[in-house]
Amino acid sequence: MVFGLKLGLPKATKASTESPEKSSSKAESSARSGSKGGAGETRGGGKGALTVNEFVARTKRYRERGLEPTKPELIAYARYLGIDPITDGDLMWIADEALAAPLPSEWTEHHDSADRVFYYNVQTHASSWTHPLEQLHRDTYKAIVHFRSGDISKEDQIGEIDRLKRKCDEAERDSIKELQAWSEHTDEGGQRFFYNRDKQVSVWTDPRPARCHSLYLQMKALKDMSKHCGQTVPGLAAMDDARRDKLRIQQMLAIGTSDPLGKSSRDKSKDERGGDEGRKDEEKKKKKKKKKDVGNEEPVDLTEDD
């Protein structure tokens, strides 16, 4: 994404931002107009234009209050992603999914002083104005459009369906295997974090939503393509209710029930940050209690709240 790219939408005004929470909306509008380096004023020249970064940040805040983007806003965002809302109106779900996409485990979300959203990779220490999964949604749209274009023969379409089915099955197996290496813990300050015992890394971002989201996109695209060529994919759900389908995938990818490391959250937090104090405490505990099987420890519940 080009930084500061205009989305073609007007910035919020008093008339358009007032909602059931009028006081909150007015405070946000005031803060935005008084901030330095606003993208709409310094990057593009058009004072009234809303940039992609501002739109994403605003949509996130509004959705937390139960408000959804308007149809013109979603259409403008879809065009930014390369989606034709007229010809491919039935694929507008891709734009909606892109707007709500979760972050992969190694990424965190932040806002600058002008309230523009950006993303930071804790492993590579790189920052990006573009959501890490944005290209995945662009590619999903392109793949479906190419499949439906008529440039592929019926025989090749059936072969492509089989290939995509195998790819989905492989992605499902890989996701289950990877997520079983993750466990959830709480540090001394009460903040939740996630630890991967295979890679021996700790992250703040829950690894499940992004995995679930990516798998959902693949399955939804497969369902659309198979329907287009009149094929039925065994074992593939109807994929007609995003919330229900994601919950089903989430349950399928549920992480294992027991704590693989055999440590309390407090000890993990110390150990995984480079100290050896946690290891010493754990050795003492093991000797004292003579534990034989870490699988008997209290399960770590990683079920998403509904």
Name the strand (E) or helix (H) holding 269.
helix 265-272
Q: How confident is the model at residue 7 (pLDDT cuts 50, 70, 90)?
A: low
Q: Please provide the size of the chain in residues.
A: 306
Give mean pLDDT, residues 164-192.
91
Give the DSSP per-residue string, 22-89.
HHHHHHHHHHHHHSTT-HHHHTSS-TTEEEHHHHHHHHHHHHHTT----HHHHHHHHHHTT--TTTTG
Q: How confident is the model at residue 96 (pLDDT cuts 50, 70, 90)?
A: very high
- For 142-159, how does the pLDDT look when each residue is reduced to its tens digit (9 = 90+)? 999 999 998 888 899 999
Confidence at residue 295, expressed as pLDDT on a 0 to 100 scale:
43
| Six-digit token string for 157 | 């379409």
- For 27-45, how does the pLDDT look when each residue is reduced to its tens digit (9 = 90+)? 333 333 333 333 333 333 3
Look up the pTM and report it.
0.68
Cα separation of 226 and 158, whole Å?
8
Confidence at residue 273, expressed as pLDDT on a 0 to 100 scale:
44
Is it the case that residue 222 has pLDDT exceeding 70? Answer: yes
Q: Give me the residues paired with residue 111 across strands.
A: 117
Cα separation of 302 and 256, whole Å?
9
Task: State the Cα angle at 58 between 246 and 66, rounded to 5°.
Answer: 50
| Residue 6: φ, ψ to 5° | -70, 135
Is it the case that residue 8 has pLDDT exceeding 80? Answer: no
C-alpha closest to that of 127 among 304, 3, 216:
3
Name the strand (E) or helix (H) holding 201.
strand 201-203
Q: How confident is the model at residue 1 (pLDDT cuts 50, 70, 90)?
A: very low
